[in-house]
Amino acid sequence: MELLQDRIKDNNNMCFGCSQANPIGLKLKFTLDGEICRTEFEAKEEHQGWNGYMHGGLIAALLDETMAWWLWFNDISIMTAEMTTRYSYGVPINTRLVVESWCEEVKRGRLYLMAGRIILPDGKVAVRANAKFMKTELK
Ligand SMILES: CCCCCCCCCC(=O)SCCNC(=O)CCNC(=O)[C@H](O)C(C)(C)COP(=O)(O)OP(=O)(O)OC[C@H]1O[C@@H](n2cnc3c(N)ncnc32)[C@H](O)[C@@H]1OP(=O)(O)O
């Protein structure tokens, strides 16, 4: 397994998902394990929607960020162009979550079809996502 995130030396990074300096951010850290990008997260009270469960918009942010990081690890700068999420089970707070992403297809050299999922400690997949990311010149 390769831990690549520490190679990024952008001290101005205030990304809500991955900056370690953003005081209200998720402070995610990622690894690339073969073809799978992965992070772990434990939602707290401030991440709730319904009592006891993580807010659906923040769940989508977790998945968006994890799919985006697969592309960053592969040196591809992107913007999210489209995303769908399928919420199969509530995501409980105070519970270790594993978030994974991978690339399913690249179209016309510029449109990356990505997938992601959130796995609960008992192995159930609580949420699945599919997204289209467009290669840009951001980097
Ligand atoms: C260290 C820091 C790490 C940070 C990680 C950040 C992770 C977070 C990632 C995000 O959440 S990014 C924020 C949310 N996304 C945005 O704000 C994106 C806003 N939209 C855009 O910037 C542009 O619309 C976009 C870059 C997605 C596309 O604009 P372009 O001008 O490059 O493309 P254009 O609209 O000309 O379309 C090019 C082709 O793609 C097609 N296309 C566009 N959107 C599409 C779509 N959604 N699905 C399929 N095809 C699409 C479009 O029809 C067209 O087809 P043709 O070439 O055949 O004419």
Q: Please give the distance, rounded to the nearest whole angstrom, from the Cα atom of residue 82 to the centre of ligand 1.
A: 8
Q: Please give the distance, rounded to the nearest whole angstrom, from the Cα atom of residue 59 to the centre of ligand 1.
A: 21
Q: Please give the distance, rounded to the nearest whole angstrom, from the Cα atom of residue 96 to the centre of ligand 1.
A: 32
The two three-digit tokens of residue 60, written as one number: 């989508």
Report the pLDDT value the prediction gives residue 54, as an integer from 0 to 100: 98
Query: What are residue 99's DSSP bridge partners?
Result: 39, 118
d(CA 95, CA 43): 7
- Is the ipTM here above 0.95? no
Query: Which of 69, 132, 134, 139 maximizes ligand 1 atoms within 8 Å of its Cβ, making it the mutation to test the pocket?
Result: 134
From residue 96, how far is each of 10, 21, 75, 133 by CA, in Å? 28, 22, 29, 27
Would you say the CB of residue 68 lies under 6 angstroms from ligand 1?
yes
pLDDT in tens, 41-84: 999 999 999 999 999 999 999 999 999 999 999 999 999 999 99
Residue 99: closest CA among 137, 80, 127: 127
The two three-digit tokens of residue 21, written as one number: 């300096």
Residue 62: closest CA among 87, 33, 8, 23: 87
Q: Please give the distance, rounded to the nearest whole angstrom, from the Cα atom of residue 81 to the centre of ligand 1.
A: 4
Spatial CB neighbours of 31, under 8 Å, sequence gap ≥ 6: 1, 2, 3, 4, 5, 37, 38, 39
From residue 91, how far is each of 18, 44, 68 by CA, in Å? 20, 11, 21
- The domains of the chain, with CATH numbers, are 30-135 (3.10.129.10)
Residues 43/79, Cβ–Cβ less than 8 Å: no
pLDDT in tens, 101-134: 999 999 999 999 999 999 999 999 999 999 999 9
Which residue lies with its CA nearest to atom 14 of ligand 1? 80
